Amino acid sequence: MQIKILQPDDWHLHVRSGAALKSVIGMSAKQMGRAIIMPNLNPPVTNALQAQAYREEIIQALPEGDEIDPLMVLYLTDNTNTSDIEKAAKSGIVKAAKLYPAGATTNSDSGVTDIKNIYPALEMMSKMGMLLLVHGEVTHADIDIFDREAVFIDQVLTQVAHDFPELKIVFEHITTKDAVDFVIESNSNIAATITPHHLLANRNDMLVGGIRPHYFCLPILKRENPHQLALLDAATSGNPKFFLGTDSAPHAKDAKESACGCAGILSAHCAIELYATAFESRDALDKLEGFSSKFGPDFYNLPRNTNTITLSKESWLVPESYEYAGSVIIPFMAGQELSWKLV
């Protein structure tokens, strides 16, 4: 059996820079037409000039014959001003700006310490039609890591959505039923991306029988019921507010298998196969194309891809590791069997 769908895009992707970038960019290029490139480099991508340079670095790093259109994102800081936003919007290459609450995740030290600090920038984004992408977790030490997304909705996102009704917001990599409900109940300017690992795994996969650092990501995997189940319901519902964003976030094996391991899961090597697996588990393969190839560009006001990809029902083993910047990386589902393969 085979299924043919319009080529997908990845609306949330980390590709790093330098040698790491060279190791992973081909994985996404073999699957995706476009990718929203996360700006959490060190130092972060905070203006249009840096975004332009990073975009060129990505294109240069592509393996011969591979193609992908990198859509660039600015990293919002307490110091982002309205002219940074205006210039980025006018550059044509920057499609969005990302809110990382300070300290939320990998390279987020320069993130925003108080949402009010970026209100002028948000006003300008709203005016220029630039999307706001949010890492939706509070970072206060007194909030339990499993509650950080739900508390972010209550303490930050509800207010921002209320104060900027015209601003298009993507609630990135949602992990809870709270987030699913919030997005469904919000106006049409609020959408969400869902990762393959949050559809296919829950916290038991990370913690039962031993601690598995390659399942550690942020926002952290939640419980199956109600959260993973709510994500599967949302992704396979055909609701255009939910679309593909892998959050594929590479870290070398040593950086993850450590006493203080990094957060992030590499899924770019088989992203569309992982989504197909999740959709098939719900008998919803007919809903895959909307989620992976239509709702994202529609929300971003970009044309849908016109070329297609084919997935074949065929077993294969995910490699145990890949080369990564002179070291190795352990991919999601390493050594495990998948029953869909990109032709």
Measured from the CB atom, the residue of 264 and 296 that comes closer to ligand DOR is 264
The region, left, alpha or beta by phi > 0 then psi within -120 to 50, assigned to residue 92 is left
Measured from the CB atom, the residue of 84 and 247 that comes closer to Zn ion is 247
Joined tokens for residue 83: 């002219």
193 touching ligand DOR, by CB under 6 A: no
Residue 88 interacts with which of Zn ion, ligand DOR, none, CB < 5 to 8 Å by class: none
Measured from the CB atom, the residue of 106 and 239 that comes closer to ligand DOR is 106
**Which of 10, 84, 178, 247 is an active site residue?**
247
Measured from the CB atom, the residue of 23 and 40 that comes closer to ligand DOR is 40
102 touching ligand DOR, by CB under 6 A: no
| Interatomic CA distance for residues 185 and 326, integer angstroms | 47
With beta carbons less than 8 A apart as the criterion, state whether 341 and 273 touch.
yes
Q: Tell me the closest approach of the beta carbon of residue 249 to Zn ion, in angstroms.
A: 6
Q: Tell me the closest approach of the beta carbon of residue 174 to ligand DOR, in angstroms.
A: 12
| Contact pick of 23, 28, 106, 195 for ligand DOR (by CB under 6 A) | 106
Q: Tell me the closest approach of the beta carbon of residue 40 to ligand DOR, in angstroms.
A: 5
217 touching ligand DOR, by CB under 6 A: yes
14 touching ligand DOR, by CB under 6 A: yes
Site string for ligand DOR, 133-172 (x = CB under 6 A): --x-------------------------------------
Q: Is 247 a catalytic residue?
A: yes
| Interatomic CA distance for residues 180 and 174, integer angstroms | 7
249 touching ligand DOR, by CB under 6 A: yes
Residue 193 interacts with which of ligand DOR, Zn ion, none, CB < 5 to 8 Å by class: none
302 touching ligand DOR, by CB under 6 A: no
C-alpha closest to that of 328 among 58, 29, 23, 31: 23
C-alpha closest to that of 73 among 94, 59, 92: 94
Q: Tell me the closest approach of the beta carbon of residue 24 to ligand DOR, in angstroms.
A: 12
**Neighbour-count burial of 193, counting CB atoms closer than 10 A to its CB (0-12 exposed, 13-18 middle, 19+ buried):** buried
Measured from the CB atom, the residue of 249 and 276 that comes closer to ligand DOR is 249
Measured from the CB atom, the residue of 263 and 284 that comes closer to ligand DOR is 263
105 touching ligand DOR, by CB under 6 A: yes
How remote is the C-alpha of 210 from its chain's centroid? 27
With beta carbons less than 8 A apart as the criterion, state whether 254 and 329 touch.
no
- Mention every residue, 6+ apart, whose C-beta is less than 8 A from residue 83: none
Q: What is the 3-state composition of the chain as percent helix, strand, coil, each rounded to the nearest 5?
A: 40, 20, 40
263 touching ligand DOR, by CB under 6 A: yes
Number of residues that bind ligand DOR (CB under 6 A): 10
Half-sphere exposure of 270 (CA within 13 A, CB side): 26
197 touching ligand DOR, by CB under 6 A: no
Q: Which residues of 284-321 are buried (b: 16+ CB within 10 A; e: fewer)?
A: bbebbbbbbbbbbbebbeeeebeeebebeeeeeebeee
Write the CA distances from 270 to 186, 196, 332, integer angstroms: 32, 10, 9
Q: What residues line the site for ligand DOR (CB under 6 A)?
A: 14, 40, 105-106, 135, 217-218, 249, 263-264
Which residue numbers are catalytic? Answer: 247
